[in-house]
Amino acid sequence: MCGITGFWQNYGQADDTIKEIIYQMSSSLNHRGPDSQGMWTASEFGLALGHRRLAIVDLSSEGHQPMHSINSRYVIVFNGEIYNFKNLRQQLVSFGYSFRSHSDTEVMLAAFCQWGVETALQRFVGMFAFALWDRQEQVLHLGRDRLGEKPLYYGWMGNTFLFGSELKALKAHPHWQGEIDRNILTLLLRYNYIPAPYSIYQNIYKLPPGTLLTLATANSHPRPEPKPYWSMQSTVEWGQANPFLGDEKEAITQLDHLLRDTIGQQMIADVPLGAFLSGGVDSSTVVALMQAQSSQPVKTFTIGFHEAAYNEAHDAKAVAQHLGTDHTEFYVTPEEAVSVIPKLPTLYDEPFSDSSQIPTFLVAQLTQRHVTVSLSGDGGDELFGGYNRYFWANQIWQQLGWLPKTVRRAIANTITIRSPEAWNKTFDQISPFLPKRIQQRLPGDKLHKLATVLAVASPEALYKNLVSHWQDPASIVIGASEPQTNLTDTTCWAELANFSQWMMYLDTITYLPGDILTKVDRAAMGVSLETRVPFLDHRVVEFANTLPLDLKIRQGQGKWLLRQVLYQYVPPSLIERPKMGFGIPLDRWLRYELRDWAEDLLNEERLHREAFFNPQPIRQKWQEHLSGTRNWQYHLWDILMFQTWLEVQ
């Protein structure tokens, strides 16, 4: 796991000047790679590659980057891990290749020499972002892994092409003149993240997952577009056309074997390794299969909150005790959590407003004190049907979609007569009498969310409403229009007959890389911790998409098949409880601990002066939130995270 960066100016420049620039760019990524720094330049082209190394596999100097292929054709800077590099190495040895190191980077270079860039990419099992200079063809390739685990930004400042793992590396180039794109700001307010291919800056982009960008010149016109070498859309449609035909027992066995193999590969490291453990289905499955393959107790980590509605630490501890892991937990005070907020603009580089960014950073910080690599359970919800919307949204539309809009709107009005807090108190009283599977954390908020979707015209509109914060963000951002995304561009939609499967697919290509993986990568790499995500091995993804829906969602509960695998190692009594997510009591903090901070950022005069937002709807939501009549925590956090980020620009 590392940080990569570089630039191409398409004209010669003094070698000392180029080296100083690339040194500054790569130094900005020190947190991603504190172990060593490397750079390579071709001053005659105005080309430079920079690298910061976090040594994980082959800790010797032989793993240093930038690295050259044995035939000197290619030079690479690479961030990530190729988990099947040992198998690929054996194949390449049979073709006559020899290796001087034990690193996966050297295997990548040999694979490019043997099979070509795109074919080699299709053979890699792993997470990666890389820049590859082809000396023979004089072209530059940028590539990103299939699901988007590792980040890669790129773009143009005048005639200079820039790229890097994080925006701060691009900003370190003297040609940087980043201009905020107001249109893209609308996407932050809708989704709480900025989806690929966009960034907050004009002419700067995120390389989409599963694509390869090839440049024959630094500033060609028209500018080249990334080309897919793997497609989630094709994967999902192929899975529907070629479904898994075995019985339930065979499905459990096959998934167990596949996850064991994947997790076994991802446990290979020359540094201490552990896992995040929340006590939920996904992280518990990962830890259970790690412990089943380890002769020593696996190191596991969790953080807890003193607010019961947000605390999963006791559940994680129970799972850890059952599995016999070496478990570490840390209870966070509001003051400790709030102290993270000033770090967020630098950590994320562009506005990002998933408030679970705070506990994610804290658990990464805790984990890094003990290990250098941590496995995570991310991706299980999208692949195996874990989010409540996959079954609730389908049921809502089936049961209420036939009603006239006026009737659905009347139901919504009835719900919103009572505040979320009033509903929460009611549910607290009746909760002991409800089945566990329908109990919810903060049910009042969820009822108000339900009210907002009742008047929509189609299932697709219902989903868009569910994943949106501000429903009309272009009315909030002054002088902006909302761009098209994978969620609104129907050409990106897979052909799926079932609404739940359609939602799972869209979450996998939007929410997963744009929010979840971004959150985890920046939080972990901000403290020099590598994270690995076994569920996103593309072989697991491809198998999951052959499974019929009833192996994922059954009797109003998600992740049925994954639960059956887990219950071979952990009793259901330790797992069966309402889904919590990884949240913080943000609604209360905004009313109390964060009130003065938020009031300053949401000051009406300030909003007018900065001229990004229409103040009136923001102030209205702020006052309603403070009064307790509504919970607008997510809408307000979107604005607050932009305001906080803007302060440091």
Strand partners, 47: 8, 42
- Integer Cα distance of 50 and 41 in angstroms: 9
- How many CB atoms lie under 10 A from the CB of residue 228? 14
Peptide bond into 66 cis (omega under 30): yes
Interacting residues of 368 by C-beta distance below 8 A, sequence separation 6+: 524, 527, 528, 529
- HSE, side-chain direction, 13 A CA sphere, residue 46: 15
d(CA 504, CA 494): 11
What whole-number distance in Å separates Cα of residue 99 and Cα of residue 40? 21
Backbone angles phi, psi at 508, to 5 degrees: -70, -30
Q: What gap in Å lies between CA 419 and CA 413, rounded to an integer?
A: 11
Count the residues in the chain. 649
Query: In terms of Cα–Cα distance, which of 310, 294, 230, 234 is closest to 260?
Result: 294
Choosing from 2, 39, 131, 565, the catalytic residue is 2
**Residue 148, helix vs strand vs coil:** coil
User: What is the side-by-side strand order in the sheet with 326-332?
Assistant: 326-332, 299-305, 273-276, 373-375, 530-532
For residue 2, indicate whether it is catalytic.
yes
State residue 352 phi and psi, 5-degree precision: -150, 125
Tokens standing for 288? 């259970």
- b/e per residue, 305-341, with b = 16+ CB within 10 A? beeeebbbbebbbbbbebbebebbbbebebeebbebb
Query: How far is residue 396's CA from residue 408's CA, in Å, rounded to a whole number?
Result: 11
Q: Which residues contact 408 (CB under 8 A, 6 or more apart)?
A: 400, 454, 455
Catalytic residue positions, numbered: 2
